[in-house]
Amino acid sequence: MQTKSAARNIFFGGTIFFFVIFVGLVAHSYSYIVTTSTNVKTLTEAVAHGKKIWEENACIDCHTILGEGAYYAPELGNVCKRLGGKDAVMGMIEARQENEEDTRQMPNFNIKGKDLEDLAEFLCWTSTIKTQNWPPNEAG
């Protein structure tokens, strides 16, 4: 049988031990994200504005980006690599906003000009994130 003092010491010792482990894991995760996965040097105003356009039009309600979002429309985390560059992405977005007859019609958000260019810039920037081979196939 343990005394109250021994039980208290085990409790506090265990709490401190697991808190130190938790802080170490958080620090490791943060250093991995900052140093290896996201290329912070290539973040530009255009990329930030493109992300804002992405959020304002709720693209994530239909598309996934790096595995997050809805699965109604294609994955866009690697769309720049799949289509072959920013101009192709812009052309795809413009074409999908037209009235075409198919089962999955993208709404016309009327994204044009600088907004369209920055949205494509954001999507191409996401292609540079090291995702540990996610999505697992080229088609997304």
| Residue pLDDT, tens place only, 51-97 | 999 999 999 999 999 888 888 888 898 899 889 999 999 998 888 76
Residue type, 100: E
Taking the domains of the chain in order of start, what are their residue ranges?
1-37, 43-140
Summarised one tens digit per residue, pLDDT across range 111-127 is: 999 999 999 999 999 98
The answer to whether residues 121 and 50 touch, using CB atoms and an 8 Å cutoff, is yes
120-124-130 Cα angle (round to 5): 155
- Structure tokens given for 21: 């482990």
Enumerate residues 6+ apart whose C-beta is below 8 A from 116.
90, 93, 94
DSSP state string for 31-42: HHIIIIIS-GGG
Residue type, 5: S
pLDDT at 100: 60
pLDDT band at 137 (very low <50, low <70, confident <90, very high): confident
- Structure tokens given for 59: 């693209």
The answer to whether residues 24 and 30 touch, using CB atoms and an 8 Å cutoff, is no
Helix (H) or strand (E) holding 22: helix 4-32
pTM assigned to the model: 0.72
Task: Please tell me which residue, 25 or 1, carries the higher pLDDT value.
Answer: 25
Beta bridge partners of 68: 65
pLDDT at 136: 75
Summarised one tens digit per residue, pLDDT across range 2-60 is: 899 999 999 999 999 999 999 999 999 888 777 666 777 788 999 999 999 999 999 99
Q: At what angle do helices 113-126 and 86-96 cross, to 10 degrees?
A: 120
Q: Examine the pLDDT at 101 and tell me if it is beyond 90.
A: no
Tell me: domain 43-140, CATH 1.10.10.60, correct? no
pLDDT band at 130 (very low <50, low <70, confident <90, very high): confident
Helix (H) or strand (E) holding 1: none
pLDDT band at 98 (very low <50, low <70, confident <90, very high): low
Q: Examine the pLDDT at 134 and tell me if it is beyond 80.
A: no
Residue whose entry in the numeric block shows the structure tokens 């790096």: 66
